Amino acid sequence: MNKNITYAFIFVTVSLLLSACGKTTSVKPTPTPAPKVFEMPLSDRPLITLTPRDDGHMLYLKISKIPSSIISMEYEVIYTAKDNSSEIEKGLGDTVKDVTSILERNLLLGTESCTNGCKYKYDEGVTGGTITLNFINKDGQSSTYESPFVIKSSAEFKKDGKLTLAVDNFSVTPKTKISGNDYFTLYRNYRGGFTVSSNGTNSIVGDYPQP
């Protein structure tokens, strides 16, 4: 009788242990809260320029008239370059704290090494990309500006006869002859319409309304 009780006790204990080992505890992931967004009033939107350097290998980003309610921002530029016969996607960006009314950044389209004197390797075949800016206010809300951009030399401009943002089906044709050996960029204006910037002073530079 005692042996039967002992065997039964062992059987129940082993069964419970096996049952416990077979159970899995499912943990529900905590959902990531959606970022809070706000629509920045048109009159408050900063002025944005994306000007190419005279060799086309750098873009000068200038953001002015930033509202005092903006305390930080993020910027990112994604573009496509050519490596022999292949196309590769490149990118650069950063988060800026303690934003003031003006922010300027030099965006190198390539790589820089300053271990023993600065050396540069420029990306070739860059014809455009996308720029994204996130403006974050004191309440932790974010307002986003995003635009495609194209970059073109005077020689390419003369050959094509216009600057075109294909995704927006928008083109700018110069009213006068393009002179010099300048570079040009075309992108959306944060306040509406489009903007052409250049390292030179050609008459095509300026803002264009939405057609």
What digits encode the pLDDT tens for the residues 66-117? 999 999 999 999 999 998 888 999 999 999 998 999 999 999 999 988 888 7
Selection from 18, 51, 35 nearest residue 184 by Cα: 51
Phi then psi dihedrals of residue 83, to 5 deg: -125, 100
Q: Identify the residue whose tokens are 């873009």.
A: 59
Q: Say if residue 58's pLDDT is above 70.
A: yes
Name the percent of the chain lying above pLDDT 70. Answer: 83
pLDDT at 14: 44
Selection from 44, 54, 42, 45 nearest residue 197 by Cα: 54
Question: Cα angle vertex 10, ends 5, 15, to 5°?
Answer: 125
pTM, full prediction: 0.81
Mean pLDDT of 184-192: 97
pLDDT at 189: 97
pLDDT at 48: 97
pLDDT at 17: 46
Token digits for 141? 């809300």
Q: Give the SS3 label for residue 156.
A: helix
pLDDT at 22: 46
What secondary structure letter does DSSP report for 37? B
CB of 94 closer than 8 Å to CB of 74: yes
CB of 92 closer than 8 Å to CB of 77: yes
Mean pLDDT of 148-159: 93
Work out the pLDDT band at 31, boundaries 50, 70, 90. Answer: low
Q: Say if residue 149's pLDDT is above 60.
A: yes
The domain ranges of the chain are: 53-208
Name the percent of the chain lying above pLDDT 90. Answer: 68
In this structure, of 26-40, 64-78, 142-156, 191-205, the range with the lowest mean pLDDT score is 26-40
Q: Identify the residue whose tokens are 């040009």.
A: 184
CB of 46 closer than 8 Å to CB of 66: yes
What secondary structure letter does DSSP report for 201? -
Q: Say if residue 19's pLDDT is above 70.
A: no
Q: Say if residue 38's pLDDT is above 90.
A: yes
Mean pLDDT of 149-165: 93
User: What integer best gives the mean pLDDT of the chain?
Assistant: 86
Selection from 152, 146, 201 nearest residue 168 by Cα: 146
